[in-house]
Each structure stands twice: as structure tokens, then as C-alpha cells.
Chains A and B, each alone.
Chain A
Amino acid sequence: MTDSTSSPTGSLTRRSAADLAALLRAGEVSAVEVATAHLDRIADVDPAVHAFLHVDGEDTLAQARAVDARRAAGEDLPELAGVPIAVKDVVVTRGTPTTAGSRILEGWLPPYDATLVTRLREAGLPMLGKTNMDEFAMGSSTEHSGYGPTRNPWDLDRIPGGSGGGSAAALAAFEAPLAIGTDTGGSIRQPAAVTGTVGVKPTYGSVSRYGLVALASSLDQAGPCTRTVLDAALLHEVIGGHDPLDSTSLPEPAVGYADAARQGLSGDLTGVRIGVVRELGGSGDAQGYQREVSAAFERSVAALTAAGAEVVEVSCPSFEAALAAYYLILPAEASSNLAKFDGMRFGLRVEPAEGPVTAERVMAATRGAGFGSEVKRRIILGTYALSAGYYDAYYGSAQKVRTLIQRDFTAAFEAADVLVSPTAPTTAFRLGEKLSDPLAMYLNDVATIPANLAGVPGISVPNGLDDAGLPIGLQILAPARADARLYRVGAAAETLLARSEGPVLDRIPEVAR
């Protein structure tokens, strides 16, 4: 190998965030060395992967130097201080370009930081850059980015999932040890599944939404993207907890996650009740799930049982309508949230090619030129679902389905402490394979969407490889505010899989350049 992973500091890019934190704390490496190793790796492989939309190495190194100086001065720093992080481009960062993957925001420099960014800065995590995504987080493949697709490091001809494909790919390609994602219908969990990484959608309100470019406000939730479950727990504790700037922020602090993960690492699940959801790739509904995905899921359920868990089957019949409800609620909320992109106060402004230059005509020309196809499609669908005469039949009905889905979860969580399912019905598909069929693309989110509609937390952990050597994900869901259970059971699943076949990412081929 000639890449940076074989050089002395290059091996730093293979380490978990928890390991890097320990090395930094022990003074064995500096934050500058860790940041440099990752910036070198980005320079080396990102031309092929395209996980990042923006990298400013000087800025990253300045942040790393500040951490080293604080440590040298004897300051007691937060656990992850000096561990660098990549941030999805839907999160606003003061003075650093933020596009949400859209041409309409090209060149925009936000005048403020998202709350989660403020917390990362306070905790001393140097930011490596902003990661690629489907435009305004609408998509499951990152092909709808206004700046070109991200490629899956496992196979550059395949999608890295979406909308947060950039964050997941950056982890799998060892360009970053930690990343931030947002999950509205699976945008953290599905990319994690198809890249062999870990992704957590916390309970709705656990991580502040202040400073996220909103897609669907009642569904959006930011969370950790990592390579290990413990790293996700550590990161969740940094970014979570109450924020007075978000009226939907939960009042309780985000604590106890790392402890739960460490407990799970023993691999012992005695006394834990695990529910297999019949309608999510369970025995009632394996149709639409790739054969190896179903087989890996059955193997992991058997392993969890062997580790002491009690496995029960639960049924959530209204989940069948979750996808339909989601594709009404999301476009409705998005059509309203995206009204602010009008070319008046920030971002692109385009004047009409002919005729009078009025504000209204400039808005329409700007939005016509600045939005991509998927965004236009969903805004129009949302406008339709909210329009007079259809509101009750569509948006109103979808909100009722949401109630039914919550009731199904409540009943299921009486029988089980956590629920499990495959994260996505298939492994990574080829670039372009589903671009011409929006509905086929939407079906990717079938197993992840119910959690968003009900606000419950979910994690995707690696669950082996398919016959083509592509990663498979295992999803674990917990009741609202019981995120700690995800970390315990997730870490146990990770340990059990590593015992039987080793860590999934150990088998990723080197990125072809």
C-alpha cells in the first residue's frame, strides 16, 4: 500500500474516536497530528469518494492547535477534545459555507452556528469539513446533491446511501473518525447500513434542531455517525441535551449513553426482551428484502438469543402505511420550510429571462433555477397535499396514520424492550439504478420511517456482508427517551458480530484511485 494508512501517523485514521481520545489524553499524539492524518487521507481519497463539499485544512489545524494549547496549559478537557469531526452540510456553521447540497445556497456563509456546532466547538472537536448530501436531505442515495454524487468506499460504482451519504462515506473511507448526520426518514441509519458504519437517530428532541436547515420539522433529528457504537454514545452525549433555542428540545440531559455502550460491549443480554417486527422484514414480510439481508437478520437474532436475550415476535400492522403517510407529511412540511429560499435575503437570486422584474417573478425564476428535480417534485406534492379540498384527505389522513403507528409502537414496547429489523431492504445499489423511478427510491426507507413518524430512537449497526461483499445493517429501535437501550444492545450486537466474523470495516477494500 502507498496510501497514508500505512504511514506512522496514517494509522491514526483507522482508530476509533474513543481510542484517539485516550491517545490524546495520554499525550501520545497531538490534536494537530490527528487532524493532519485525516486531512492527508481526505486529500488522498476524496477525489475518488467525494464525501466532502468543503474542507478548510488551515481552519481545522487552527482548531486542533487551540486544543493542544489548552491541554498543554493543564486544562481538564472534555473526553473527545482533539478528535476531529465531519459535519453534514445541512448544519449551519458560522463563516463556513453551508449549502445543504443545494445550488440555491451556493457560496452562502451563515451568520451563526447551529447549537450542536457550538457544543462541538466547546468540547474541542476540530471540524474537518462539510459533507455531501442529497439536496435539502431529500433522497436515499446522495445522487440528488447539487454538487455531484458521493461514492460508496466499498464499491465506487455504488451509492453510499442518503441523504447523509457524505458523512457515512467519510467514515468508511477513514477520512473522519466521527461525523454528524440528520435523519428525517432514515438519512443517518440507511447510509450507515450500506457503508458498514454506525448511525443513530436519537429520540426526537434529544439533539437541538436549532441551526439545521429544516426539511420536515416534526421528523428531523440530528445524530451521531461513527464506526463504533461506543463512539456514537460519546458523541451523542456531546451534542445532546436541552437547548432553549429549540422549543421541541427535550428538557432532560443526554447522559448515560457511554456507560450503556460499555455495558453492552460484554456481549451479555440477559434479561433483555427483543421484539422482531413482523412487518419489517420479520416472518410476515420478507418480501422485498434481499435474500442475504434476511439471512443476516436471522443470524443476528439467533446470536442475540444466544447472548441471553428473550426474543418475541411483535406485530405493527399500521407500519404498512408508514411510507405513504411519510410521503405526504414530509412534502407538506418541506413545501412550507423551503418557502424561505426565495432569492430575497440570502443565496441565489435569478431574474426572469424576459418580462417585468418583480419580486414574485424573481422568486419563481430563482427557485426554478436553484432547486433540483427531487426538491421541485416534493414541493409540488406538498403544495398539493396542503391545498384546499385535499388537505383532509391527504395531510389530515397521514397525521391519523401517525397516531396509529405510535399506538403500534406503544403496544410493541409493552412486549419488548427494543425492536429489531434490517435497516434497509437491500445493500448499496448502483449509481443511477433508481434515479428514474422516484417511488423505487422511496421504498429504501420502508424500515426506517416508522421511527421518525413516532419520534422514537433508532440505531443501525453493521451486520455482515452480502455475497457481493457489500455491508448489511441491523436496526434497533427503543421507546422515546430510552436511547441508552440502543447503545447497550447495539454494542452487544457489535461485539457478537466481531466475535464471529471480525469487524466489518476490516474487510473494506482500499479505495481505488
Chain B
Amino acid sequence: MPTFSSDEIARLASLARIDLTPDELTRFAVELEVIAHAVERVSELATDDVPATSHPIPLTNVWRLDVPGAVVDRDEVLAQAPAAEDGRFAVPQILGEE
């Protein structure tokens, strides 16, 4: 278990696209250290012969007929967008300067 530094928190926050204040960086480093230490013990029980469970009640081959049905109304959806124009979401610049 690595020690959580403010730099490590900043790296994770950047991966998760969350701006953190300097105070949050410091506080989370301390708190996550404690939490990470507490959850570390899972590796003691997880031996190689134990399979992983990703879902509590596995259902396989869940199909339904591919028929056209009602969909949400476009105007109702766009009315909730922070910005929209010409029947589409309007978003800030996605690519670089070019």
C-alpha cells in the first residue's frame, strides 16, 4: 500500500475530472490513507483458488425482441441541457486549438 500524498490525490482527481481545492487535497490524503489501510485486508482472504464474483445473481443471455418502442422526447431532453442549439447539445470546445 503506497502512502497517499497530495500529489497522488491530485493525479487521481485529474483522472476522475474533479477540481479539488488545496484544502481538499490535504484532507483527502489523510482520510484516504486510513480508509485504504482498512480495506487492504481483502487481499489476505483472496487466495488464487477463489473465483471472483462480479454480480450477485448471474442471469445469462437476457434478450428481448428488437422492436421499435417509445423513446424520450428530444425537446424535453434538450430543455434540461445546460446549453443546446439546433436540436443538439451545445458543449464547450472539445478538441485543441485547431
Judging by beta carbons under 8 Å apart, are B18 and A368 in contact?
yes
Given the interface contacts A112-B72, A321-B42, A380-B13, does A400 sit within 8 Å of B52 by beta carbon? Answer: yes
Q: Out of A111, A349, A361, A439, name the residue touching B38 (CB < 8 Å).
A: A439
**A483 at interface (Cβ–Cβ under 8 A)?**
no
| Minimum Cβ distance to chain B for residue A84 (Å) | 26
Neighbouring B residues of A442 by C-beta, 8 Å? 35
Given contacts A318-B45, A360-B17, A376-B18, 9 further A-B contacts (CB under 8 A): A328-B39, A348-B82, A358-B94, A376-B24, A377-B32, A396-B46, A400-B52, A403-B52, A439-B34
Judging by beta carbons under 8 Å apart, are B19 and A365 in contact?
yes
Neighbouring A residues of B35 by C-beta, 8 Å? 327, 377, 381, 438-439, 442
The CA-CA distance from A109 to B72 in the complex, in Å, is: 13
**A344 at interface (Cβ–Cβ under 8 A)?**
yes
Of A57-65, A242-250, A461-469, the one with at least 4 CB within 8 A of chain B: A242-250
The CA-CA distance from A324 to B43 in the complex, in Å, is: 10
Judging by beta carbons under 8 Å apart, are B18 and A358 in contact?
no
| Minimum Cβ distance to chain A for residue B16 (Å) | 5
Smallest Cβ-Cβ distance to B27: which chain A residue? A373
Neighbouring A residues of B9 by C-beta, 8 Å? 380
Neighbouring B residues of A513 by C-beta, 8 Å? none
- Give residues in B with beta carbon < 8 Å to A: 9, 12-21, 24, 28, 31-32, 34-36, 38-47, 50-57, 59, 62, 64, 72-73, 76-77, 79-83, 89, 91-94
Judging by beta carbons under 8 Å apart, are B52 and A402 in contact?
yes
Q: Out of A321, A396, A397, A438, name the residue touching B31 (CB < 8 Å).
A: A438
Judging by beta carbons under 8 Å apart, are B12 and A387 in contact?
yes
- Give residues in A with beta carbon < 8 Å to B: 108-112, 203-205, 218-219, 244, 247-248, 250-251, 318, 321, 323-325, 327-328, 335, 339, 342-349, 351-352, 356-365, 367-369, 371, 373, 376-377, 379-381, 383-384, 387, 393-394, 396-404, 406, 438-439, 442, 452-456, 480
Neighbouring A residues of B76 by C-beta, 8 Å? 111
Q: Out of B19, B39, B80, name the residue touching A394 (CB < 8 Å).
A: B39
Neighbouring B residues of A369 by C-beta, 8 Å? 19
Q: Out of A205, A325, A383, name the residue touching B16 (CB < 8 Å).
A: A383
The CA-CA distance from A349 to B83 in the complex, in Å, is: 9
Judging by beta carbons under 8 Å apart, are B31 and A327 in contact?
no
Judging by beta carbons under 8 Å apart, are B80 and A346 in contact?
yes
Judging by beta carbons under 8 Å apart, are A324 and B93 in contact?
no
Neighbouring B residues of A328 by C-beta, 8 Å? 39, 42
Neighbouring B residues of A452 by C-beta, 8 Å? 56
Given the interface contacts A111-B76, A357-B93, does A347 sit within 8 Å of B42 by beta carbon? Answer: no
Given the interface contacts A346-B81, A403-B52, does A321 sit within 8 Å of B41 by beta carbon? Answer: yes
The CA-CA distance from A455 to B92 in the complex, in Å, is: 42
Neighbouring B residues of A454 by C-beta, 8 Å? 56
| Minimum Cβ distance to chain A for residue B45 (Å) | 5
Judging by beta carbons under 8 Å apart, are B43 and A344 in contact?
no
Judging by beta carbons under 8 Å apart, are A325 and B93 in contact?
no
Judging by beta carbons under 8 Å apart, are A357 and B92 in contact?
yes
Judging by beta carbons under 8 Å apart, are A480 and B51 in contact?
no
The CA-CA distance from A110 to B40 in the complex, in Å, is: 39
The CA-CA distance from A480 to B19 in the complex, in Å, is: 42
Neighbouring A residues of B40 by C-beta, 8 Å? 324
| Minimum Cβ distance to chain A for residue B65 (Å) | 9
Judging by beta carbons under 8 Å apart, are A349 and B34 in contact?
no
